[in-house]
Amino acid sequence: MNKIRHLALMTAGLATLALTMPAMAQADRVVLTLHPIDSDALVENFNPNNPTGPQQMVRDFAYEPLWIDNIWNPDKDYPALATAYEISDDLMSITYTLRQGVKWNDGEDFNADDVIFTFEYAKANQDYPMGIDVYVEATDTGMVVSAEKIDDYTVKFNLKEPDALARFALGGIYPLPEHIWASVEDPKNFANTEIVATGPWTKVENFSRSSVELCRNETSRYNAENAIDCLRFLQLNGNEQIIAAMSAGEVDWLGTGLTDPEITFTPQSEFNNYWLPPGGDVNLQINTTKAPFNDLEFRKALSVAIDRDTIVDISTFGLTTHTRFPVGTGETYATWFNAEALEPYTWLMQYDPDRAIELLDAAGFVDADNDGFRDNPDGTPIAFEINIPNGWTDWINTGQTISENLQDVGINAIVRTMDQGAWNDKARTGDFDSYLMWTNGGPTPYNTYNPMFNPRNMEAGRVDYQAMHQMRLPEVEEALQAFRSTADRNEQMQHMNTIHTAVAENLPVIGLFANPTWYEYSTRNFEGWVTEENPYVRPTVFEGTRERVIHALSLKPVSP
């Protein structure tokens, strides 16, 4: 839909608008407006590895990765700058065959030198987050040791140790054009105002503090199928403004948080649509280094004392999804569950306050000082906080439900909200009672469990959000190592089952629900959106979902 129509719809019938028309007049173009990042003012920066905003706009759309994993349909991946990859038998290297005939939009050829340069560049500029896990000798961390040029269109990455999962991370390398970046000394502070890339939209047009467009790359190989001339990014901030903008036809594609969408979102416009597939799980992270959380019976009681139905239906507005097993992960990894093996643990996810009381009584958690709340078996009182950042409404509601549930069975737990900075800092110290916490996602559950159980993430002073429980489980650590060392899905399943069972047995975290994946779209200007019936790729608008470029390329303008 063209720009004039867009605006006309938004402020129909206003005389003032007529005054502004001459400035808006531009040839009929098809413009898709998407909103991957909130801001107060747009900044003229298109650095693909700048995490403060630019990377949300230019990754995938302008800068292409080597490979686009189709996480929901793994047998239908989308090759990007590479056309094939081969994992060596010993899992110590991966060789990528690069696409021939690709040109950067300034006319230079793309080839292996660019990829090698990109790797070396990441190695030389550690403070520039290119997302390549380069091996660093000094700290003995990292995965990728070197990148070798086999020929002009073949590159081999050598790994530190056998790793069957490395292809997911390596596929996400966004090659930089050597002829441009070789002369950039301080990439972190480079604003990259002229994009040189290979993707479908590379030309920056009409930049202002309130909107910017990324327009068609005339040399892109996608041009035959690409119906969209420009992507537009608007300055927007705050959920009310963002939703109002979609309802008014200013934005086509969103990933913003909703509350009560049937009241606040869909009635606002006939074109407003949403679908919220289950995303990563949210857990109650408890500090198992101290009482009472160091007692397994207490943790079991905690788990059955929580009324997850109320949390899903009321506290989180019915937008979250139930979690079946007490393993810290949920429906996003549904294909990895061995339901039979986990059946004996399902009772831990059922709300059963009587059972909680029984468990607590039996384990000696009784009210010793008659203050109305249970105490530790040694007589010390139990009183703990659930820490949540200010303003995270659904989580605060969840925390309050948990607090009420626990008080019902005699446990003194309260919600403590705090500034996000203070919340961050407190998490790192390792000295806290409990937090509500998201889980990290990725193509396999390994990406969730590795940060959760990596002992490096449990050192006091640098505790990672995922490992806040601080419980070491050797069988999990071994199974994670084994999982990564095989490319065989069946073997991986076995190792994952070991991990699931160990987590269910020990309850280092208390599973709650799966967060929604936020996805809203408007059918006013485009058709071909991902829907529940046709989930051809993950529909998220944010960087980190490499498929989003495929989603954008699949959209066609609605015929007027």
Partner 1 sequence: MIYILRRVAFYLAAFFVAVTLNFFIPRIMPGDPSARIIASFQGRLNDAQVEAIRASYGTTGSLWEQYIGYVGQVLRMDFGISTVQFPEPTSSLLFYGATWTLVLVGIAITLAFLIGTMMGIHAAWNRGGFFDSVFTPINVMLNAFTPAVVALLLFYAFSLQLQWFPLGRAHSTGLVPSWDPQFIGNVLYHATLPVLSILIVSFGGWHLGMRNVMINLLNEDFVILARAKGLSDRRIRYRYVARNAILPQITSLALSVGFLLGGALVTEQVFNYPGLGKFTVTAIESRDYSFIQAQLLLLTMSALVANLLSDIANVILDPRLRKG
Q: Which residues would be at the binding site for partner 1 (CB under 8 A)?
A: 3, 7, 10-12, 14, 16, 19-20, 22-24, 40-41, 43-45, 50-53, 126-127, 129, 131, 133-134, 136, 138-139, 141-143, 188-191, 206, 208-211, 234-238, 240-241, 244-245, 248, 250, 419-422, 424-426, 428, 438, 440-441, 447, 451, 456, 464-466
Cβ nearer to partner 1, comparing 131 with 353: 131
Provide, rounded to whole angstroms, the least separation between the CB of residue 136 and partner 1. Answer: 4
Report cis status (omega within 30 of 0) of the bond before 560. no
Cβ nearer to partner 1, comparing 16 with 490: 16
Q: Strands 321-322 and 384-389, how do they pair? A: unpaired
If DSSP codes are grouped into helix, strand and coil, which group holds residue 202?
A: strand
Cβ nearer to partner 1, comparing 7 with 493: 7
Residue 471, CB half-sphere, CA atoms under 13 Å: how many?
23
In Å, how far are 134, 249, 456, 462 from 139, measured between CA atoms? 11, 51, 12, 15
Provide, rounded to whole angstroms, the least separation between the CB of residue 189 and partner 1. Answer: 4
Alpha-carbon span 376 to 296, nearest angstrom = 13
Phi-psi region of 391 (alpha: psi -120 to 50; beta: other; left: phi over 0): left
Cβ nearer to partner 1, comparing 371 with 419: 419
Which backbone phi and psi does 240 adopt, to 5 degrees? -60, -45
10 and 249 in contact (C-beta within 8 Å)?
A: yes
Amino acid at 196: V
Q: Alpha-carbon Rg of the chain, whole angstroms? A: 26
Provide, rounded to whole angstroms, the least separation between the CB of residue 543 and partner 1. Answer: 10
Cβ nearer to partner 1, comparing 429 with 534: 429
Cβ nearer to partner 1, comparing 314 with 422: 422
Alpha-carbon span 150 to 94, nearest angstrom = 12
Chain CA centroid to CA 32, Å? 23
Provide, rounded to whole angstroms, the least separation between the CB of residue 286 and partner 1. Answer: 20
Cβ nearer to partner 1, comparing 277 with 279: 279
Size of the chain in residues: 560
Amino acid at 483: F
Provide, rounded to whole angstroms, the least separation between the CB of residue 151 and partner 1. Answer: 30
Residue 369's CB is within 10 A of a number of other CB atoms, namely 10
Provide, rounded to whole angstroms, the least separation between the CB of residue 211 and partner 1. Answer: 4
Provide, rounded to whole angstroms, the least separation between the CB of residue 32 and partner 1. Answer: 15
Amino acid at 273: N
Cβ nearer to partner 1, comparing 250 with 307: 250
Provide, rounded to whole angstroms, the least separation between the CB of residue 332 and partner 1. Answer: 14
